[in-house]
Structure 1
């Protein structure tokens, strides 16, 4: 039986939801890893890592779930995107594995502590950069397809724009990580996070401005959405929300409300992702196919949609419970929360 158009929209929304959760949750612990080598004292780095111990592994659940949703919901798009991004995705997975190994081995101390610290930070930075590079290559439509198959080169994804978006995501994750540390730590670590957040916010703003300007220039369909009436009025709140969130994040770095910088950085990410999603909608791959052309069969849609309706609330429940149990601050000299 052919696919159902409403279920294609369901899977598109589910994919966006999972990506948003992954970027928000795994983004801040990757950000802490990116900031890791800039902390001056070993005790400060211990506090930074201890703040992530109960959360970091569960945050990657959303990456696995996102891959499953994309494969089951849009197999035609998945079969093109995977070979197009083999290299950055493989490097991203290597970075995540390296970070995980380093996280466990660094806690054992010993003479290789410095090496594991560098591996922890390097793995986080590599994973973040690859995610940003994939995003940059995806939204600019640099994916060659012939007869429904990827026909481009191995390094088509690597362009000045994708490199810029890669560094932009690294800076954005650093903002999330700094916000997390401001909220969940105190003393020297918190002051370090406040200082580190300012340059990261500036680089993030530059990356968002670059994407906002470049995307309409490279994709006429995007320009038509953002600069024609009435869609312009519908989309206008997104950049306004992003600007307000950035200003709030900047000003909150010297405010007493410690949670505000983290919350504002999350809103900044969500507004930016919403803008990208609205720009390319309803494309599964910009310039190649729509979500209705890429979707799976009706039987598959029903089975996977039912599974998602059951599984996602369970995952949200245990993730939320873990954050509740391990609430509070981590301070130097403490064994945990």
Structure 2
């Protein structure tokens, strides 16, 4: 039944996916920032995302705020269980945002803000991956209250997810820079795409297998007697996207690899959603159990219907205005 709780579940999922693929590439630019050989190259790299980076983070606010408003029980459980990585991510986002603004205001301390940008971007990606891994392996709950310890989120699997997301964001960043830059810097990013693509695909495979060992419910969903066979279309689609990505790289395409990398993120997200559904806090709290009353969900949906087209319109307009290559000496500050 497609009720209000389901609508909000889908909306929050879409917001989180939009955040991952939009803010993912500008986090990836920060991860790759050390590869800029001089100040001019680093300026061009940062200027490629300067007009859109803060708008991309709107989707994180929408996802987190929507979770709090529509599913308060899930919000309280997840935030309690993942308190340390959430705080780490937020501090890293603050450091990265400050570095964005301060780097263009100084010359003497520019190198320190460069490293703040690198560290903030990399730590943000890592902690986001750790949170995904911790959620997949499950949260201990007793009588609708978190019953785990301070460091239940930390495990080899969650660390693997953190490293995987850093690699995936770096792939998005390299693919974005191939579109936005030219010359020697573009060629170096193009050379990175193949190795980062291979690393991302390998990470998807390792995490897919690891998930089967850390979460019995997910293993049964894929391989048990009640396995959902349509789910197997997702790894098939992922394999096709990986092959297409490899061909596009070898053909030296400019835009196509970026779109295919976004497709890999989308299929990975679909696989995660299909594995966990209908649990919002695995292994015991479904999204319907965590939802607010229908009258609250309906009231908020009116606002979402009004605001989402505005956000989409603003985002599309910003990308259109700042289309094209970033040249030396050009930028939006």
TM-score by length of 2: 0.95
**Of 122, 125, 128, the match for 1:128:** 125
What SS does the aligned partner of 1:253 have?
helix
Give the corresponding residue for 1:199.
195
The alpha-carbon deviation at position 221 of structure 1 amounts to 2.4
- Preserved contact between residue 44 and residue 331 of structure 2 (Cα < 8 Å): no
Q: Pick one of 268, 273, 280 that aligns with 2:276.
A: 280
Partner of 1:48: 45
Residue 316 of structure 1 pairs with residue 312 of structure 2: yes
Q: Helix, strand or coil: the match of 1:284?
A: strand
Q: Which runs of 4+ in 1 moved over 6 A?
A: none
CA distance in 1, matches of 2:228, 2:289: 26
Deviates more, 1:116-125 or 1:219-228: 219-228
Q: How far apart, in 2, do the equivalents of 1:231 and 1:161 lie?
A: 23
Question: Is 1:54–1:326's contact at 8 Å kept on the other side of the alignment?
Answer: yes
Describe the superposition over 1:93-114 as per-residue Cα deviations: whole angstroms up to 9, x where unpaired. 1111111111111112411111
Which residue of 1 is the match for residue 145 of structure 2? 149
Q: Does residue 95 of the first structure (1) align with residue 92 of the second (2)?
A: yes
CA distance in 1, matches of 2:193, 2:106: 28
CA RMSD of aligned residues (A): 1.8
Pick which of 325-334 and 221-230 moved more.
Answer: 221-230
Q: TM-score, normalised by structure 1?
A: 0.94
Greater displacement, 58-67 / 192-201? 192-201
Does residue 268 (structure 1) correspond to residue 264 (structure 2)? The answer is yes
Aligned position for 2:158? 162
Aligned to 1:171: 167
* 2:253 matches 1:257: yes
Residue equivalent to 1:110: 107
Q: Is the 8 A contact 2:70 2:297 kept in 1?
A: yes
| Gap regions ≥5 residues in structure 1 | none
Q: Secondary structure at the match of 1:330?
A: coil
Pick the aligned partner of 1:180 from 176, 180, 183. Answer: 176
Contact 1:5 1:292 in 2 (8 A): no
1: CA distance, partners of 2:253 / 2:192:
18
What is the Cα deviation at residue 231 of structure 1? 5.1
Measure the CA separation in 2 of the matches of 1:13 and 1:231.
22
Give CA deviations for 1:132-151 in whole Å, capped at 9, x if unaligned.
0000010111x111221112
SS of equivalent to 2:32: helix
Please say if residues 212 and 218 of structure 2, whose CA atoms lie closer than 8 Å, have aligned partners that are also in contact: yes
2:223: which partner in 1? Answer: 227
Give the CA deviation at 1:167: 0.5
* Alignment length (residue pairs): 333
Q: Which moved more, 1:190-199 or 1:56-65?
A: 190-199
How far has the Cα of 1:175 moved from its partner?
Answer: 0.5
Contact 1:44-1:188 at 8 Å conserved across structures: no
- Note the alpha carbon deviations across 1:278-314, whole angstroms, 9 max, x for none: 0011001111211111111112111111111111111
1:47/1:189 contact within 8 Å kept: no
* 8 Å Cα contact 2:21-2:265 kept in structure 1: yes
Residue of structure 1 in register with 2:291 after alignment: 295
- Kept in 1, the 8 Å contact 2:220–2:226? The answer is no
